[in-house]
Structure 1
Amino acid sequence: MASGNLLMKMIEYSKIINKRRGEGHLKNDSQFSKLIYEYFLIRFRFNYYKYGDILPTIDKLCQEFGVGAQTVKAALRRLRDEGYISMQSGQFTKVLFRQTKEELAAFIRLYYSGRRAAFSDLYKSSELVFVPMLTEGLRRMDEKDLAYLEQLSICADMDDLFHFYSYTLQKVENPLTINLFLEVSLFLGFPFGKMETDLLFYDNTIVSQRLQTLLAQVRAQDWDSVHQSLLSYQRSDVSLASTYLDQLARRFPAPEQTPFVWRVYRDRPQLCYSLAVRIMHEIYMGEYRETEFLPSYEKMAEKYDVSVSTMRRTVRVLNQAGVAESVNGIGTRIFTVGKRCNEPDFDCPAVRRNLALFAQSFEMIIYSCREASYSMFSSLSKEVLSDLIRQLEEYKNTGKYELSTWQVLICIAKYSPFKGVREIYSKVYGLFLWGYPLKGSFKETSRLDRISEQFNENLTEGLKRKDYCRCSAIVEDLFKKQFPVSEDYLQKCGLRPEELWLSHPICLF
């Protein structure tokens, strides 16, 4: 059986990244090996690979995954130690895992019934992000791209459908979106297994017709129809999936539910970077926004329940980002909103990576914020809406207009009616924070200040009138105006486009 057919086209993107950056492989990172392990594990459990199948050689897997040999070997050793494969030097890697049809059916039921609570919500949540970006990806297709998608539309099995969407998203060249697409796909599981037909709600004929209709609309450049078709297909799949899961729920006891978690920081010290984001939020929006210095390492370590050494590393990250400045014998000075801060350390690889994530998150916001903010605004309670308006008016009175932008992102992360959107935007907001020191280090900010001031006034007025359609358009317009300024500044500071849009640490495939 061919290895990872589903994976091939996603890997092509990684190869493009490596070629443009002059690197032969992605770094040998334990988190990448975990991704490879998870990919094969789910395919074993869904019976895509069966007992006796032969996996490709190490060299072939390195080539296909775009990683080093040690990364692949680490993933395969873990699968071997858990009894899924045999792996001996000089011999083929053979699948040892076997299960009966009854065991397969039981696993599928357990897998999906355990995700039942998140399934429909996650489909609707990812729709807000992926449908606009899929539409944009299709806009960028040339004739060669369309010819390839035509081939995928003919058979239209599950692998082909996944290839179709992943290939289209890759045209947008936003690794953060690809990362989210992978995480959602892994969680939902459907594209990663060839399951028995009586256990699955998938019709190749219908999917083939859908894809061919979509491609005809692309060739006609009927982008409104393309967008509506993508929405229609997504919502039809949600309806079918919900029916399937409801049947499972009626027949079998509901297991403990598994929530969706977007693991953006797979390749880095999770605690340190998560804590840095939390402290940045508190510097700009929370309890540190009126102070000049952070508490001592010891007090902060106690407050955040981490070691002093972790706290020191976290503060060093904040210093490198331009958020703070440690002064010997005095403490750690912080730069709150409105204060001129240090430039980020553009020579630091971690800072450059964070700024790439900031730029990618910014672009994701542009594509998704209109629908995400509209659904949030229209579902706010009277009390929360009044509080939001009061907060915006406070920012106007204090002249801290830029906080209005962040307040909208925070509200989406807190009050969106969709759990998946709250999860996605909580991570997007954290990534977005890394970019504020750019503005804080600008010598001339009057243009951005005027944009933020106008945004605050227009949004406040729209919320008072409860014109949520206009409010969401105002939010989208703001990010579209701000984005070119930030992108241009990053490039002037030496971050090349391939670093901003083709950075591979968060995009394995």
Structure 2
Amino acid sequence: MWRIRTQKCYTAAASLIQKINEGIYPEGSFLPSASALAQNYGVSVMTMRRTIRLLNEISVTKTYNGRGTQVSTMNEEPLKGEKLSPEIMRNMSLSLQGLHLVCLTCGEVMRDTLANAEPADRYAFIQRLEGLLENKRPSNILPACLNFISEKSRLAYVRTVYANLYELSAWTFPLLSYSHDLGGGERSKYLSKESLNLLRSGRFGEFADIFHKKLSQDFPWLQKHLAQLGVKDSLEMCRM
């Protein structure tokens, strides 16, 4: 299903969403110019302008004539399905299918990755999760976990698959954090200080089980609310 997404603007949009949610481009700040971003991502200015239009459409950013494109404030404007283009709906459907795959595999994959990662990499991962909890960015915990697996798994095919899943995750969990009526931030609390203590003490299996259980419990909730936007977990939607 990954081959359906061929246009570079989708990849660039997903990357910018991740950077916004990671705080690289904070709320209220202005993105670099379209020409600067185009050079950064190795795409044409026209492609980058389309990327920015996608971000504006989902209320992640807002472009002002003569001023540039500003990162929206969290919860500023809820997503509305009738305003989403077929391209956005298609990407969100692909993301939902990707997260379904994560639900089926993340427990064993996380356990294996943690057990075989270098101590320094595990420490950096813990620091990253702690920072997200302290800065009240729970919607970024899932992407952080997917990114960790995509970079540190001992298996090349797992790294490849989870790199795709990490990119696709930009279209669901981070986006829902902009929709205050869905309660995305509150329902995205996958980890707590207690579960991080399991990670610190080397109890990787227990940590992975908690993460897997929480994600599996919340996936039906995510399906329900994305369905309210008109997004379904189906290949038919991806071919729209």
SS at match of 2:70: strand
Q: What is aligned with 2:193?
A: 457
Distance 2:70 2:183 in 1: 22
Superposition deviation, residue 449 in structure 1:
2.0
Cα-to-partner distance string for 1:460-481 (whole Å, 9 max, x where unaligned): 1111111111111011112112
| Offset, 1:343 | 1.4
Aligned pair 1:349/2:79, yes or no? no
1:500 and 2:238 are equivalent in the alignment: no
Cα distance in 1, alignment partners of residues 194 and 103 from structure 2: 18
Query: What is the deviation of 1:272?
Result: 1.5
Superposed, 1:110-509 pairs within 5 Å as 179=1, 264=2, 266-285=3-22, 287-289=24-26, 292-335=29-72, 338-343=74-79, 346=82, 347-435=84-172, 436-443=174-181, 445=183, 448-449=185-186, 452=189, 455-495=191-231, 499-503=232-236, 505=238
Q: Which amino acid aligns with 1:423?
A: T
Q: Secondary structure at the match of 1:333?
A: strand
Shift of residue 482 of structure 1? 2.1
Question: What code does the residue aligned with 2:45 have?
Answer: V
Amino acid at match of 1:385: R
Change (3 A) 1:444 1:310: closer
Per the TM alignment, residue 268 of structure 1 is displaced from its structure 2 partner at its CA by 4.5
- Root-mean-square deviation (CA, aligned residues, Å) is 2.4
What CA deviation, in whole Å up to 9, does each residue of 1:289-327 have, x standing for no partner? 466211111222222232211110111122223322222
SS at match of 2:180: coil
- Partner letter of residue 356 of structure 1? S
Percent identity between the aligned chains? Answer: 26
**CA deviation string 1:405-457 (max 9, x = no partner):** 221111001101111111101101111110122232132528x52651x6132
Q: 1:291 to 1:388 in 2, by over 3 A?
A: farther
2:103–2:216 Cα contact (<8 Å) kept: yes
The aligned amino acid for 1:433 is A
Please say if residues 93 and 237 of structure 2, whose CA atoms lie closer than 8 Å, have aligned partners that are also in contact. no
SS of residue matched to 1:325: strand
Segments of 5+ residues of structure 1 without an aligned counterpart are 1-178, 180-263
The answer to whether the 8 A contact 1:401-1:456 is kept is: no
3-state SS of paired residue (2:63): strand
Letter in 2 for 1:461: N
Are 2:14 and 2:170, in contact at CA under 8 Å, matched by a contact in 1?
yes
Separation in structure 2 between the aligned mates of residue 342 and residue 311 of structure 1, nearest angstrom: 24
1:410–1:444 CA distance, 2 compared to 1 (3 A): same
Q: Do the aligned partners of 1:395 and 1:404 also contact (CA within 8 Å) in 2? A: yes
CA distance in 2, matches of 1:351, 1:345: 10
- Contact between 1:342 and 1:437, CA under 8 Å: does it hold in 2? no
Residues 38-81 of structure 1: CA distance to partner in whole angstroms, max 9, x if unpaired? xxxxxxxxxxxxxxxxxxxxxxxxxxxxxxxxxxxxxxxxxxxx
Amino acid at match of 2:104: Y
Residue 356 of structure 1 and its aligned partner are, at CA, apart by 0.8
3-state DSSP of counterpart to 2:62: strand
Q: Which has the higher contact order (CA 8 A, sep 6+)?
A: 2
Q: Counterpart of 2:31 in 1: which secondary structure? A: coil
Gaps of 5+ in 2: none
State the 1:278 CA deviation.
1.6
Distance in 1, Cα, partners of 2:235 & 2:127: 41
Instruction: Return the letter of the residue paired with 2:207.
Output: C
Q: TM-score, normalised on structure 2? A: 0.88
Instruction: Kindly tell me the number of residue pairs found equivalent between the two proteins.
Output: 238
Equivalent AA in structure 2 for residue 389 of structure 1: I
What is the alpha-carbon distance in structure 1 between the residues aligned to residue 112 and residue 28 of structure 2?
35
1:205-250 residue CA offsets vs partner (Å, 9 max, x unmatched): xxxxxxxxxxxxxxxxxxxxxxxxxxxxxxxxxxxxxxxxxxxxxx
Q: Which amino acid aligns with 2:161?
A: I
Q: Alpha-carbon deviation of 1:494?
A: 3.1
The TM-score normalised by the length of structure 1 is 0.44
Contact 1:366 1:479 in 2 (8 A): yes
Query: Cα offset for 1:344?
Result: 5.5
